[in-house]
C-alpha cells in the first residue's frame, strides 16, 4: 500500500506530525509542498495533507497544491492540521478545496501545537509546550490507526458554527498574507548569515548589502523570524522581547 504525506511547515510543527505519523505507519513518502514541485500524476493509495492553520484557514501554498495535484480517484485522503490558536473550520475549507477538484476528504484530523505567531503574541511557556508534545505523541498513534484502516473520520473543528463562520472569512485574510513581510526589519544583531534566505519556503528573501530584503511573496510562515540564529529579525518593538520557537526535534537542516 502506497502512502504519501504532503506537508508544509514554517517552524517544524507540521513536519514533526508528518514524521511521527510516518514512524507509526511504516513505509511512507514525506513530500514537502512548494510552488515549484512536480504536479504530475501521484500514484498513491493514501494521501495525507499536513498543514498549519493560518488565519483560521489553510496556507496559500496548500491551496495551490490542491488546485494542481493529480491524485488517484480512489485514493483515501486525509488532512492533518497543526494549530496553535484556534482550529475553527479550517478542515472544512480543505474539504471544500478538494471537492472542487473532484476529490473527497475521507478524514480531517487536528492537533494543537505551540503557537508560533510571535509577531502577535509570545509562545506558550515550556511546561505547556511539553504537555502539548506528550499529547501529540499519543494522538498521532490514534490517527495512524485510523489512516491504516482507511477509516472515515469527521473533519475536526472547534467553536461550532461560529468557528466555521470565522473560517469563511479566511480567504479574504489570506489574500493579504503576503503583506506580512512589510513589517519585518533586522536589528543590530544581524550578521548577514543568510539563514533567512535559505529557510524561506517561497524564496521571498534576498541579501542586499549583507542584510535581508523581503519581497511580496510572503506566506506568513515566520520561518525567517524563528530560525534566525541571532533573533535579529523583528516585526515591531514588541518582538524584541518575545521568544523564538521551532520544534525541538526538527533541525534547520531538516527544514531545508
For 116-158, the pLDDT digits (tens) are 999 889 999 999 999 999 999 999 999 999 999 999 999 998 8
The pTM for the full model equals 0.94
Domain boundaries, position 106:
3-173
| Residue 126: all three cell numbers together | 515550556
Q: Can you tell me the distance from the alpha carbon of 190 to that of 233, in angstroms, rounded to the nearest whole number?
A: 8
pLDDT of 232-244, one tens digit each? Answer: 999 999 999 999 9
Read off the C-alpha cell for 67. Answer: 488546485
Residue 82 pLDDT more than 70? yes
| Residue where one domain finishes, among candidates 173, 200, 220 | 173
Select from 110, 139, 173 the last residue of a domain. 173
Are 52 and 150 in a shared domain? yes
- Among 143, 173, 203, the domain boundary falls at 173
Cα 177 from Cα 181, distance rounded (Å): 8
Amino acid at each position: 500500500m502506497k502512502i504519501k504525506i504532503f506537508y508544509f511547515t514554517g517552524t517544524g510543527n507540521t513536519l514533526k506530525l508528518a514524521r511521527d505519523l510516518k514512524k507509526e505507519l511504516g513505509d511512507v513518502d514525506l513530500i514537502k509542498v512548494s510552488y515549484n514541485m512536480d504536479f504530475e500524476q501521484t500514484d498513491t493509495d493514501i494521501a495525507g495533507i499536513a498543514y498549519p492553520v493560518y488565519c483560521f484557514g489553510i496556507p496559500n501554498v496548500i491551496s495551490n497544491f490542491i488546485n494542481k495535484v493529480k491524485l488517484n480517484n480512489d485514493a483515501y485522503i486525509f488532512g492533518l492540521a497543526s494549530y496553535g490558536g484556534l482550529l475553527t473550520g479550517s478542515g472544512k475549507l480543505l474539504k471544500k478545496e478538494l471537492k472542487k477538484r473532484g476529490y473527497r476528504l475521507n478524514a480531517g484530523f487536528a492537533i494543537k501545537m505551540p503557537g508560533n505567531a510571535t509577531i502577535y503574541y509570545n509562545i506558550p511557556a515550556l511546561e505547556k509546550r511539553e504537555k502539548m508534545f506528550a499529547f501529540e505523541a499519543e494522538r498521532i498513534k490514534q490517527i495512524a490507526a485510523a489512516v491504516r484502516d482507511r477509516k472515515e473520520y469527521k473533519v475536526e473543528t472547534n467553536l461550532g458554527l461560529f468557528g466555521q463562520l470565522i473560517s469563511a472569512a479566511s480567504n479574504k485574510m489570506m489574500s493579504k498574507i503576503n503583506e506580512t513581510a512589510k513589517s519585518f526589519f533586522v536589528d543590530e544583531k544581524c550578521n548577514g548569515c543568510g539563514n533567512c534566505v535559505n529557510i524561506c519556503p517561497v524564496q521571498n528573501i534576498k541579501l542586499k548589502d549583507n542584510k535581508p530584503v523581503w519581497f511580496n511573496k510572503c506566506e506568513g510562515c515566520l520561518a525567517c523570524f524563528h530560525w534566525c540564529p541571532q533573533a535579529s529579525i523583528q516585526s515591531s518593538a514588541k518582538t524584541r522581547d518575545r521568544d523564538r520557537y521551532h520544534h525541538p526535534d526538527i533541525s534547520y537542516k531538516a527544514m531545508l
